Amino acid sequence: MEKNNTALTGGLLVFVLPVVFSALANFDNSNVVNSLTLLSCIFLAYLCVRKFGSILMCRIFVKLMCVSAAMSLILYLATNLLRLNLPFPVLEKVNGIHYKTIFIVSQYAETYIDGSKSMGFFWESGIFASYLLLAIAIEFMVEEKASIRRLALLVIALFTTGSTAGYLILPIALTIGLLKSGGRGRVAISVGIVIVVLWIFANYSAIQDALVQINPTLFWKLGDADAVTKLTRLQSPSVCWDLFSVNPIFGLGYGDALEAYSTVAASSATIDSLTTTSFFQLAAFGISGFAMWGITIYALTGTGRLPLSSGIMLVLLFVIIINKEPHTASVMTYILLFSFLSFTGKTSEKALNLHYGGTYA
């Protein structure tokens, strides 16, 4: 199998060295402990891709998301249509919230939180929606002919998450497949997409009002200027940029940056959490965070499994996802990034299929 091990190793260095240098420059217990945890996540992801291969890891990811999607749909129907209160074990996660869970699927046990939305095995529905979208994109990327059954399952599960952002981003994920299979019509499709995007920007206010009128429960955050979720995502990058400006060379260190952001959030009525990954990398690791941006974009656009037009849409999808919630220490996200890096350059489709026995059902 052809595999870009050089890109894999380069990616590892780009993600590891900033963490190490920042921890040494800002040497304290918080930075060391948190940095070691982050480095463990990065190395685990790298070793998985290096050992088992990018194609297999991507296929495992899609299968895992499909299983979680199927179980989530069953739980969604049982909870919302049959009104069953299933006797799942209740566990408290690190965020202090209690969940009813059988690990592959969970729901809130707290009575003050809406438990009707699907969240898979994640801690909230928005994260689940993000990985469902990535699974859709990867299905198009990895398979010569994407499975309609898997795509339908993932899309249906997405609609049970109640994620406004997930619904709005779905067309981008589907466009990746459209552009990949577009053949000579890719240029026309790309031009059409650009026209549609420009039209949306030009008519954003009218579209926003229309969506709120169609479904106020789902799209209220778009029209409510005071919605904390919306304001958090808008302000999170600027808070991280301010933290980056304190020490632009090495950053504050991973642990101290987390604590500094939490201090700002605790004193703000419009920020409730960290949502941006890209700008947090700058706050934590300084100017070398830009190298992390660069290797991420290279991994997404340099894949030999997608045409450039699809790669650009993949960049847009991925950047939006990692900046609507934090992915800095997500093993799953790093596995996907290292897999994308392994795809860079000219990858032999025939060699990949021979090595892994062709496409899976």
Q: What percent of the chain has pLDDT over 90?
A: 47
Q: What is the pLDDT of residue 215?
A: 66
pLDDT band at 95 (very low <50, low <70, confident <90, very high): low
What is the structure's pLDDT at 298?
93
Q: What is the mean pLDDT of residues 10-32?
A: 95
What's the pLDDT band for 5 if we cut at 50, 70, 90? confident
Write down the pLDDT at residue 212: 66
Q: For the whole prediction, is pTM greater than 0.75?
A: yes
Question: Is the predicted pLDDT of residue 148 greater than 60, yes or no?
Answer: yes
Which tokens belong to 177? 């497949």
Higher-confidence residue of 178 and 190: namely: 178
Segment 246-269 mean pLDDT: 92
Q: Are 112 and 157 in contact (CB under 8 A)?
A: no
- What pLDDT, on the 0 to 100 scale, is given for residue 144? 86
- Give pLDDT tens digits for 221-248: 555 544 555 566 678 899 999 999 999 9
Give the residue-averaged pLDDT of 194-217: 67
Where does the pLDDT of residue 9 fall: very low under 50, low under 70, confident under 90, or very high at 90 and above?
A: very high
Sheet holding 90-92, edge to edge: 90-92, 98-101, 106-108
Q: What is the mean pLDDT of residues 124-142?
A: 93
- Per-residue pLDDT at 197: 65
Can you tell me the mean pLDDT for 14-42?
96
pLDDT band at 200 (very low <50, low <70, confident <90, very high): low
pLDDT band at 202 (very low <50, low <70, confident <90, very high): low
Comparing C-alpha atoms, which of 80, 70, 88, 87 is closest to residue 114? 80
Share the mean pLDDT of the chain: 83
Whether 60 has a pLDDT exceeding 60, the answer reads: yes
Q: What is the pLDDT of residue 114?
A: 64
In the chain, which ranges are continuous DSSP H helix?
5-25, 29-52, 54-80, 125-142, 148-159, 164-180, 186-202, 204-214, 216-223, 228-246, 254-266, 278-285, 289-301, 308-322, 331-343, 349-356
Judged against a pLDDT cut of 70, whether residue 186 lies above it is answered with no
Query: Residue 41 contacts by C-beta under 8 Å, 6 or more apart in sequence?
Result: 329, 330, 331, 334
pLDDT for the residue numbered 356 = 39
Give the pLDDT score at 24: 96
Give, to the nearest 10 degrees, the angle between helix 5-25 and helix 289-301: 160
Q: pLDDT value at position 111?
A: 59
Mean predicted confidence (pLDDT) in 250-258: 96
Amino acid 64: pLDDT: 95
Q: pLDDT tens-digit profile of 285-328?
A: 999 999 999 999 999 988 878 888 888 889 999 999 999 889 99
Encoded amino acid at 236, one letter: S
Residue 51 exposed, middle or buried by CB count within 10 Å (0-12, 13-18, 19+): exposed
